Amino acid sequence: MALLEVKNLKVDYPLRSAFWSKKKFLHAVDDVSFTVDRGETVGLVGESGCGKSSIAKALVRLEKITGGSVTLNNVDIAALRGKSLRKARKDFQMVFQDPYGSLNPRLSIRNALEEVLTLHTDLNKKERQQRMRELMQMVGLNPEQLDRYPHQFSGGQRQRIGIARALAAEPQLLIADEPVSALDVSVQASIINLLKELQRSTGIALLFIAHDLAVVEHISDRILVMYLGRVVESAPATELCSKPLHPYTAALLAAVPTLEKRSVSNIKLAGDVPSPLDPPAGCAFHERCPFATAECSQKRPELREIAPGRFSACFHTNENGIFTCAKPQ
């Protein structure tokens, strides 16, 4: 049984309008379903504004879940309130995108970690001190730096501290929301490798969110591709990146600079991502898709299993790939 099971998740944001007009909503996440197994790393990728971060915040209950269910270890997280929710938080933690804004500048690293350990564990003071030293070593930092403040660390070091804080309560699921996008390229690889090593050593499940498919491919066992609030493709990482079954995935891969020649078509995206306030009818991607037909502009394709473990939301998809079953217009 999966550790995390998300079914028909919806996250809507109310829009400001005149009090006499009908209330309107922005559908940031629209009917998304997926699972994460114990010890598995699932990547979630898509352009900015596709709903990735809204999913992350909804899973840790920082955003209101409008519809659907989120079950972690047979517990319905969406239904938890008050003390029950606070107690459950030790099982799911989050690493935020901004390593500068996610740490309280007035708290030393020791105080920041002790705050989590006091809230979510039964360790005594001596045991908490030992655990803090272990956490610093786990993320490649010197325990002697525990009494320093966030401003005394670089961006990469702060992100390591954020990871240590998230792991302090020994969660079953770690959600990393674009954890390297705010870091220098030279530092990104070290954080990715750290997460991979921690995942192997602790057996924690990881939901890794990013807009860079090359980064997601490197760390993930399985990848979900999102476009305008919906998952359009899901597959094992190596299969998805070697033979995408959705035009949008193929376009993302074509945009990744690499020394290796990929066996995918060189699709270039035209136009911009449609506004989620006024999404197009039919397939949300049809206005930018070179394979679109009249059917695509009239009906919305559902995510369906094309081959074992491979799902795509495209009318022109079969197990041989999209490029053999439709011609560019």
pLDDT tens figures, 148-157: 999 999 999 9
Cα–Cα distance between 233 and 295 in angstroms, integer?
Answer: 19
For 35, 51, 201, 225, the CA distances from 312, given in Å and listed in that order, are: 16, 18, 33, 9
Query: What's the pLDDT score for residue 327?
Result: 46
Q: What is the 3-state secondary structure (H, E, C) of 95-138?
A: ECCCCCCCCCCCCCHHHHHHHHHHHHCCCCHHHHHHHHHHHHHH
pLDDT tens figures, 20-64: 667 778 889 999 999 999 999 999 999 888 899 999 999 999 999
Residue type, 42: V
Mean pLDDT of the chain: 89
Q: What is the mean pLDDT of residues 298-315?
A: 92
- For residues 318 and 178, which has the higher predicted lDDT (pLDDT)? 178
Cα–Cα distance between 203 and 113 in angstroms, integer?
Answer: 21
Query: What's the pLDDT score for residue 255?
Result: 78
pLDDT tens figures, 244-255: 999 999 888 887
Query: What's the pLDDT score for residue 325?
Result: 43
- List helix spans (H) across 2-107: 52-59, 82-88
**Residues in contact with 125: Cβ distance below 8 Å, sequence separation at least 6, in sequence order:** none
Other beta carbons less than 10 A from residue 319's beta carbon: 11
Query: What's the pLDDT score for residue 328?
Result: 43
Q: pTM of the full predicted structure?
A: 0.91
Query: What's the pLDDT score for residue 141?
Result: 96
Contact by Cβ (8 Å): 69, 10:
no
For 155, 158, 194, 206, the CA distances from 152, given in Å and listed in that order, are: 10, 9, 21, 29
pLDDT tens figures, 77-136: 988 988 899 889 999 999 998 888 889 999 999 999 999 999 999 999 999 999 999 999
Report helix, strand or coil for 212: coil
Query: What's the pLDDT score for residue 292?
Result: 85
Cα–Cα distance between 216 and 231 in angstroms, integer?
Answer: 15
State in Å, rounded, how far the first CA of the chain is from the last one.
Answer: 44
